Amino acid sequence: MISKRAIVGLIIEQLTVQLTTLAGASRAMHADASDEQNKPEDKYDTRGLETAYLASSQARMATETEQALAVYEALELQKFPEKSPIDLTALVELEFQGARTLHFLGPKGGGLEIHHKGIEVLVITPESPLGQQLLGKKVGDCIKFQTRGPAQEFKVVSVR
């Protein structure tokens, strides 16, 4: 059985790696943008400006990742007794056409894929379309979720 504490540990690990990568890339882009060789050759040369925009975006992403990391490091995991409604920190097992998937409802970091003991867990947030649908549901409830194409019906199999 997969533990939520292990999932959160892996999320923290993945966010730490992302933060290191983003911070390094942001510093490199900032240095490149302000480099003497990137001065515009004419009024149509925007390489330096584009590099500065990219550095700014990466710095913003690094800040968001840093905030997510702080939230996960202080995260209190809830227990979900039988028939408890889904809320933040729930590990939810869904079934669709016989296939089962695991989703961790986290405060940030939606879209992260965590692999633990051969099991994949997708991190979703309450702001995501799936997270919005799951909040308040209980084991046995069904939700309809539509991405591209027709709506798909998922059944809540377990909540931990």
pLDDT in tens, 129-145: 999 999 999 999 999 98
Which among 94, 127, 89 is positioned nearest to 105, based on CA atoms?
A: 89
How far is 86 from 5, CA to CA, in rounded Å?
Answer: 17
pLDDT in tens, 52-101: 778 788 888 999 999 999 999 999 999 999 899 999 999 999 999 999 99
**Please, where are the H alpha helices in 43-156?**
47-73, 129-134
> Whole-model pTM?
0.86
Residue 117, Ramachandran bin (φ over 0: left; ψ between -120 and 50: alpha; else beta): left
Task: Give residue 59's pLDDT.
Answer: 83
How far is 101 from 93, CA to CA, in rounded Å?
Answer: 6
